[in-house]
Amino acid sequence: MKAGMKLTLKVWRQKGPRASGEIVTYEVSGVSPDASFLEMLDLLNEHLLLKGEEPVAFDSDCREGICGMCSLIINGQAHGPAGGTATCQLHMRHFEDGETIWIEPFRARAFPVVKDLVVDRSAFDRIIAAGGYVSVPTGAAPPANAILVPKDDAERAMDAAACIGCGACVAACKNASAMLFVSAKVSHLGLLPQGRPERRRRVLAMVEAMDGEGFGNCTNESECEAACPKEISVENIARLNREHLSASFR
């Protein structure tokens, strides 16, 4: 194994939602190239704690790329330089010994900073609440095999449903657009028979909520697809536009 790496970190520190933030420089050493990026931050926090300073706040939970909790801009890229992975799946072997790494929160008007690297992504939940569901009553379970789904549709729906709601698409977009997120949801439900009865109402309500939250529009740069840890395709945005257009004219 390589000896521990020495790194210079430029980290965004912000005490609270209304405080003004700044980049603070830290040095860390003894970082194993096999460590994950978040473990490197854990190491930094241990040092800070020993010195009696407040640790850097950042979000993480499952640490294996499923929960969508982690959210960092690393050297200007959402979830860092590796493709198809979330921040928690990024390893230090992607960096050079002696390198300077810039670490910032996801930035978008609709994702206000809570503290340091933690942002409030509840705007996504409000978009879902506006229409990202199937509204049949809670109660009696349906009879067996009442809903048959062709295998192809199920698989395309599954590709769209791979979204983990991390918000990297928004952070990567120069317009801070949430179109990839919304389109993944609209595609997932629109491709399934149980989601079809409400497709018109769904797309109109979700797009309205998305605009209301202050997300920008899509200008087809595809940065979102490149940043997406689940590699969700911008084809879904085309499907969203088509659904929205046809719903608007009806």
- Identify the residue among 4, 21, 26, 55 touching another protein (CB under 8 A): 55
Instruction: Check binding of 237 to another protein (CB under 8 A).
Output: no
- d(Cα 150, Cα 152) in Å, to the nearest integer? 6
Helix and strand numbers (H, E) in the chain are 8, 7
**3-state SS assignment for residue 7:** strand
What is the footprint of another protein within residues 109-138 (CB under 8 A)? 114-116, 118, 121-122, 125, 128-129, 131-138
208 binds another protein (CB under 8 A): no
The residue among 195 and 216 lying less far from another protein, judged by its C-beta, is 195
Q: Please tell me the number of Cα atoms within 13 Å of 132 on its side-chain side.
A: 25
Considering only 59, 104, 223, 243, the residue that binds another protein (CB under 8 A) is 59
Is 144 an interacting residue with respect to another protein (CB under 8 A)? Answer: yes
Q: Minimal distance in Å, beta carbon 114 to another protein?
A: 5
Query: Which residues does 176 contact at the CB level (< 8 Å), separation at least 6?
Result: 107, 108, 109, 110, 111, 170, 214, 215, 216
Give yes or no for a contact between 167 and 124, defined as CB atoms under 8 angstroms apart: yes
For the CB of residue 97, give the shortest distance to another protein in the complex, in Å. Answer: 17
- 145 near another protein (CB under 8 A): yes
CB of 66 to another protein, least distance (A): 5
Q: How far is the CB of 169 from another protein (least distance, A)?
A: 16
For another protein, which stretch binds (CB under 8 A), given 21-29, 153-161, 171-179, 214-222? 153-161
150 interacts with another protein by CB under 8 A: yes
Q: How many CB atoms lie within 10 A of CB 176?
A: 20
Q: Which of 18, 20, 22, 50 binds another protein (CB under 8 A)?
A: 50
177/193 Cα distance (integer angstroms): 28
Binding of another protein by 81 (CB under 8 A): no
CB 108, CB 215: distance < 8 Å: yes
Determine if 238 is a binding residue for another protein (CB under 8 A): no
156-175: contacts with another protein (CB under 8 A): 157-158, 161-162, 164-165
Whole-number Cα distances in Å, 64 to 20, 69, 74: 32, 10, 18
